[in-house]
Structure 1
Amino acid sequence: MAQWTQMNQLFQYMPTQTVTDLYPAAAFPIEVRYFLAEWIEEQRWEDFELENVEQAGKAQDLLEQIINILQNLAHQKPNVVERMRLMHISRNMNIFRQEPLQFGVMVRDILRKERVLLSNASSQASNQPLVSPDSVATNMCDVDQLVLKVLEIQDRRQKIHQLQEELNWERQNFESLQGQQNGLDPKNAELQKLKKLQSNIQKLEFNLQAMVKNRFQILQEAADCLDRCQMRLITRLKAWRWEQNQSTIGHPFDDNLSPLQTWCEQLLGVNGKLRQEGMLVGEPIPELLERLARLQQALIQSCLLVDKQPPQVIKTQSKFSTTVRYLLGEKMAPGKPVVFKAQIITEAQARNLGQLANLPSENVGELINNTAILENNSVTRSTCATFRHMSIKKIKRADRKGSESVTEEKFALLFSTEITITGCDTPYRIQMISVPVVIIVHGSQDNNALATIIWDCAFSEPDRIPFVVPERVPWKKMCITLNSKFMCEVQTKHCLDQYNQHFLAQKIFDNPDISEDFSNLLVSWGQFNKEVLPGRQFTFWQWFEGVMELSKKHLRDYWTEGLIFGFIGKQHLHLILKDRPNGTFLLRFSDSEIGGITIAYVAPSENGGQKIQNIQPFTKKDLEIRCLGNRIGDIKHLTLLYPDFPKHDVFRKYYTEDPVTSAKGGYLSTTLQTIVTTTEADAVSLSGLSMTPRCETPQDHSPHGYPMPQFQTSFSPEPSVQGAEFVPEFSDPGALFPGDLVQPENMDMDIEDILQRLGN
């Protein structure tokens, strides 16, 4: 209804005659548009063409609905004048029941004219060009103007035909009277009539020549307009493909192809009508017809898209799927099925595609299940070929240069077929390549292959030569990429703040200075994922990807609520925690381990001062055993989340009930609890049947000097089976007792024996 609302505002500036012409009273009066505004705009009228007789049923259905709605509205109106007017309109619309397609085309043209009027009004008000290259809606209005030009050309042709018939009639009368003029008095009425006929013939000839010239001019203007519209369409299709590629790194992407499909179909229809009009001219216009043929070929070959891209990291012998979509699928000529073929091509072959008349001759890989039939879905109005169970059996690699690895080599899938469009004499070859893919043979290569894809997606230009990317990029661009990818992978709206970004720069440039300005520095591909970080065994990307993976699976909610500080260097860490009370802590991603999160907290030092402690990082495996919320709740000397939020107020909702092992066969049930050991000698205290054992790891301190988080395992002091002999059961065999202590022959040992054995 938005379009009708805008038209209402425009009516006050429009001449009455323009409004009257727009809504013909005898066929589609303005009352119909007014009362049914929302319903009319919800229907699909663009499909209707007089030539498409298969759409007659749909047009008939819409017509019947309009008549029924008008009659129902009439019965609801208390005002007798409105009631009688609506009944009269509904009866008049019965004339279209014999020609429902004519009705559908009429409503389609009225809506198109409305859009043109609105666009022109908007253009005049803002003094801006009518067409914005980034707006499909605006371009559709431009197409509407093009359609109106075609209608104008057709109208001129009909008028030329009428003028020609009238001229032929007048010439015939003139010739008949001319044979009788000899010997007539110059004042004779017949002679005067002859002169009048001659004058009228001259006038008709002049008008006819002017109209023919005008029609030819409009035809040329329409061809120019079609060319411009099609260039914008092809540019938009390229932009769609680039945006699809950018979505890999988290950029927003609207994958709805319906508006673009309508645009393609309209341009093809306009081209066909212009070619018909060009052939109906008295003398053929070969230049115009050749130009329209070239435009048609370019359009037909540009409407193939990879709707669902293949995985950009493909492991050999693994199944994957991909889908191509043809936007002119509903315009294909009926006949034998259209079969698409897919093949693997190298980067060099992708560059040469535009220069080759045929498909690449060299086969660089064996692709299983590489054919698919193009099928139409009438519900979604999409025509697609889906390769459901493809796999790469083997791949032939190019010679690598220098230190280049196999995970830096880019390939693509090429999809191709021949297609025939209704109304075209010859078939056209159409083809399209996928986004770049990296082919691996082992899962261990996945991370490095993904780095190649991320660099390619983030820093490629829309119209590049396949698959050229810069070797160095500004740190600002890298920041945007890391932030977008992190938010996309973790599925969060909480972005990396300036402190996080600064630490990432410190990390990749190996510069711990917290006051350094990194914004104008360039990051190389080597710094991103070829060179290992100083003092580490992994690259920057491997470390960053590990953090994303951990956050995605275990930390999303904590991060989204801002409970995790994230990326922060130790120098900055000491700066913000140095004046905080003991027990203040924050959560940061480990910079020494892949996929770890650690707790930094303020603790009392031996000399009565304070020190910053960092607990051994929790990894994916640790958080699968016990979640982060419970671990924080377990550690008693953590009290305030930085800057000053009471721990339990913030994390209480993340506490879960401890998993309790079921008591069987007389055993006591057990639970796990995290503790932090800060000394080399861990005490094992037993009071009755309560003990605090070391459980998770045989070390008290990590190789990096972190205090070690461990488990406290507790169990019920009452036997689970009354009167039965029982011993505690632990989830980590060997972490509490040596193996010989849990053998059947030792089950009758008392507490003193256990303590003695542990002491030894």
Structure 2
Amino acid sequence: MSQWKQIQQLEIRLLEHVDYLYDDNFPMDIRQGLASWIESQDWDTAATDESMAAVMFSNLLTQLDRVRLDEQNFLQRHNMKIIQQQLQVKYTTNPAVMAKVISTCLREERRILSSACMQEQGPLEKSLQSSVAFERQKNMDNRVGIIRGSVQLMDQAVKYIEDMQDDFDFRYKTLQSRDSTDRNSDMMKQEVTRLQEMLNRLDFKRKEILSKMDVVVKEIDDLMTSQLSPELQDWKRRQQIAAIGGPLLTGLEQLQGWFTLTAQSLFQIKRQLDKLGELVVKVTYECDPIPLQKPQLEERVKYLLYHLIKSSFVVEKQPCMPTHPQKPLIIKTGVQFTTKVRLLVKLPEVDYQLKVKTTFDKDLPPGRVSRQFFILTNNTKVMDIEDYSNGCLSVEFRHLQLKEKKYINGTKGNEGLLSVTEELHSLSFEACFTVQGLTIDLETCSLPLVVISNVSQLPGGWASVMWYNLLTDEPRNLAFFGNPPRATWSQLSEVLSWQFSTFAGQGLNKDQLSMLGEKLLGQHASCSDYQVSWSKFSKENIPGKPFSFWMWLDSILELIKKHLLPVWNENYIMGFVSKETERTLLKDREPGTFLLRFSESHLGGITFTWVEHKDNGEVKFNSVEPYTKNRLSALPFADIIRDYKVISDGVVPENPLKFLYPDIPKDEAFGRLYNCQPSKVHPYIPSHLIPISVHPDASSSPLSCRSPEPPMTPGEFNMLNEHLCFDLDTMSSPYSD
């Protein structure tokens, strides 16, 4: 079943999250109309390859043309045409952005499907998607809207005061121009009385507008303190969680809208105060409230603007190497990485160049790290207005590169107890912002980075990134791994499931997580609040093994991603099963029933075990030597299952694999994953590779000879069977893992 069909079968609660994914950047009409085609493309690679993205963008437009021409409904055909035109305007010059958008949507769909397979969401995901958060955001929308309405009404009030004052000023000057002999007349006395009434009314209106301004400024102050700042912190926390594979990061456009509307209200109040100041120059009087109250109000407005704009300078995209888009915050020396900052306050007055400077490890205390780096490439760039993000100011650094500093006499900095992948660094961004007489020094920084010099350090670096962003919301705690906190198993298991959603397309179910818990925690596996130390997760070796729990798990992720993805996404790999559980599951099954699990003794290995029933009632279990990435590079895993043979006692080799656990016929399960034989162009005898094992009890037979380690063609096998002597040492034999 296609991914899109599975999505459509979700419950309403999850469909609402799917609905949130699609907007003008990638309309749901396209997802619906081109579902199969979209799912068959490699959008992850296209997102980092401009030429490939351009080809796929062109193909997408062609596919849209086909769907539009086949559409019978006139209105739908018209809508498709409009969508196609919008996509051309938006992505023709930057198709990789489109590929990134589609890749992200597909990944998030898989994550939502994965969460649907679990009985309940994990604590982190549940907290991020609570109904309370949605209600809070609705309240924020209403409150910002009310403030904007109040400020607009104050504009009208200031204009009314200006008109009233102009009328008063005209009458007053007219009265002054009268002849002095007329000043004692009844008409003059009436005019003076009218002017006094007008002045009293003007004084009342001035006090009223200043009182309203004071109320609105206090409301904005409270809004920023009690809601806007927490919403920004919440977005930053969700950015951390999204960075380690959690739910898709959304809400930045909404946050920008709140910041922008709040800033516009403050600037409008500032202009209203300036206008009142102009009115005082023309007309003032004893106890005039404007000179008394205006300076204090102006200071408060400037203070709020300063802090609003300063906090609106954020890292939109954390530093990431394009070669590893799903593992941000890890930078390899000598490899280009990208990052992006944005100003959430969108103001039409900003029409000049705003330069942003990046600095690595700014103000890092000496001796904190053993290695120091500097930015090798240009570290200054100008912010631009982005058309496709509602006109915000942003800048993306696409070609940053780090180089390690050389040390005199070959001596590095302070050599501490931390490993390379536990040393944390940061990237700072600075700019000077000037608008309407305000000068604001902007500064923000990335989340802590791990710097590596070899790709072999990538798994360890990613473990550090996950641990940090899971357990703290501090933006710059670079000493975190000096005394890293513990994680509960419920927290850690949720993040581990996200890794499989992100890198393998299918998260872990409750049973698989329970099996992983047993692997890591032993008897404490059933305790969701059991504390797991950083050392136990990433540094200490598994008892009896030369690798840590995380290294073992990461190697499995790599194996799935590169060699087992189709089989994994069909849920055919049980995966994390102990030998004891495996035997319990298989012992009562039909002969030839097998299951697939990951090796516990090999890094990045998968094996299958099948059950046999002897005539004497004995149950026998056979496990093949684990297939690692080197062996799977020669033959797809589904084909190995199809063609697998066992040689035993000179009998013609046969495939012992009959049913995928619990009782699915092998070809029914794997049939559509088999590689099709190429069509015959030349009259050659077709051949294909066959993986073969030698059963241990065949060691004394004439077939106890050597077979190339995997696999061989039928012709090769027959020839070797008849003429060559085999050596069992390199035969792929049934194996107990």
Taking a change above 3 Å as real, the CA distance of residues 534 and 133 of structure 1, as seen in their structure-2 partners, is: same
C-alpha distance in 1 between matches for 2:153 and 2:235: 33
For 1:488 and 1:758, locate their aligned partners in 2 and report how far apart those are by CA, in whole Å. 43
CA distance in 2, matches of 1:194, 1:154: 35
Distance of aligned partners of 1:435 and 1:463 in 2 relative to their CA distance in 1, 3 Å threshold: closer
Distance 1:637 1:181, change over 3 A: closer
Q: Is the 8 A contact 2:244 2:465 kept in 1?
A: no
2:226 is the counterpart of 1:235: no
Q: What is the distance in 2 between the residues matched to 1:668 and 1:132?
A: 65
Instruction: Give a deviation string over 1:150-179, Cα, whole Å, max 9, x none.
Output: 222222222223333455566678887997
Q: Name the CA shift for 1:326/1:516 in 2 (closer, same or farther; >3 Å).
A: closer
1:449 is the counterpart of 2:461: yes
2:263 maps to what in 1?
268
> Does 160-169 or 215-224 show the bigger shift?
160-169
- In structure 2, C-alpha distance between the alignment counterparts of 1:622 and 1:499, rounded to whole Å: 28
Q: 1:493-512 alignment to 2 at 5 Å?
A: 495-509=507-521, 511=522
- 1:299-310, aligned counterparts within 5 Å? 299-310=308-319
**Which residue does 1:211 correspond to in 2?**
205
Shift of 1:391: 1.4
Q: Contact 1:326–1:383 at 8 Å: present in 2 too?
A: yes
Paired residue for 2:102? none
2:414 equivalent among 378, 394, 399: 399
Which structure has the larger Rg over C-alpha atoms? Answer: 1
What code does the residue aligned with 2:299 have?
E
Q: Relative to 1, partners in 2 of residues 1:338 and 1:575: Cα closer, same or farther, differing over 3 Å?
A: same
1:340 corresponding residue in structure 2: 356
Equivalent in the alignment of 2:582: 573
Name the counterpart of 2:159. 158
For 1:501 and 1:132, locate their aligned partners in 2 and report how far apart those are by CA, in whole Å: 28
- In the other structure, the counterpart of 1:277 is 272
AA of the residue aligned to 1:230: M
Identity over aligned residues, as a percent? 27
Deviation at 1:488, TM superposition (A): 1.3
Q: Within 1, Cα distance between the matches of 2:349 and 2:453?
A: 40
Tell me, in whole angstroms, the C-alpha distance in 1 between the residues paired with 2:675 and 2:299. Answer: 74
1:346–1:411 contact (8 Å) kept in structure 2: no
Query: Structure 1 residues 165 and 693 mapped into 2: Cα distance closer, same or farther (>3 Å)?
Result: same
Contact map agreement 1:325 1:383 (CA 8 A) in 2: yes
Which residue is equivalent to 1:315?
A: 332
Under a length normalisation based on structure 2, what TM-score does the superposition of the two structures give?
A: 0.67
> 1:663·1:669 contact (CA, 8 Å) conserved in 2?
no
Task: Pick closer, same or farther for the CA change 1:378–1:518 going to 2, 3 Å.
Answer: closer
Unaligned runs of 5+ in 1: 1-41, 43-130, 183-189, 353-361, 687-691, 698-709, 716-727, 731-735, 738-750
Shift of 1:619: 1.5
Structure 1, residues 655-704: CA drift from partner, whole Å, max 9, x if none? 2235899999xx97642112332216458989xxxxx985443xxxxxxx
Partners of 2:556 and 2:510 lie apart in 1 by: 18
The 5-angstrom pairing of residues 84-233 of structure 1 reads 138-167=139-168, 200=194, 203-231=197-225, 232-233=227-228
- Identify which of 478, 485, 504 aligns with 1:471: 485
- Partner of 2:528, secondary structure, is coil
| Structure 1 residue 341 displacement after superposition | 2.1
Q: What's the counterpart of residue 704 of structure 1? A: none
Q: Deviation of residue 280 (structure 1)?
A: 3.2
Letter in 2 for 1:219: M
Residue type at the aligned position of 1:339: K
Task: Note the C-alpha offset of 1:142.
Answer: 2.5
User: One-letter code of the match for 2:688?
Assistant: T
Structure 2: which amino acid aligns with 1:499?
A: D
1:408 aligns with 2:425: no
Describe the shift of the 1:588–1:254 C-alpha distance in structure 2 as closer, same or farther (beyond 3 A): same
RMSD, matched Cα: 3.8
2:446 aligns with 434
The verdict on how the C-alpha distance between 1:227 and 1:467 changes in structure 2, with shifts beyond 3 A counting, is: farther
CA contact (8 A) 1:320 1:388 kept: yes
**Equivalent pair of 2:448/2:477 in contact (CA under 8 Å):** no
Give ranges in structure 2 of 5+ residues lacking alignment: 1-26, 28-131, 281-289, 321-328, 407-411, 645-654, 729-737
Aligned to 2:19: none
- Deviation digits for residues 706-731 of structure 1 (CA, Å, limit 9, x no counterpart): xxxx534213xxxxxxxxxxxx699x
Q: 1:324 is matched with which residue? A: 341
2:661 is matched with 642
Q: Secondary structure at the match of 1:310?
A: strand
Secondary structure of 2:161's partner? helix
Shift, 1:339, TM fit = 3.0
Counterpart contact for 2:375–2:400, Cα < 8 Å: no
CA contact (8 A) 1:668 1:729 kept: no
* Paired residue secondary structure (1:618): coil
Partner of 1:671: 688
Q: Distance in 1 between matches of 2:689 and 2:460?
A: 37
Q: 2:485, 2:415 → 1: CA distance?
A: 17
Q: Could you give the per-residue CA deviations for residues 368-416 of structure 1, whole angstroms, max 9, x where no partner exists?
A: 33222323344542433332222111158753544x2111101011121
> Relative contact order (alpha carbons < 8 A, sep ≥ 6): 1 or 2 greater?
2
Other-structure match for 1:424: 437
Contact 1:324 1:386 in 2 (8 A): yes
Counterpart-to-counterpart distance in 2, 1:696 and 1:661? 27
In the alignment, what sits opposite 2:381? 372
Partner in structure 2 of residue 620 of structure 1 = 629
CA distance in 1, matches of 2:705, 2:680: 17
TM-score by length of 1: 0.65
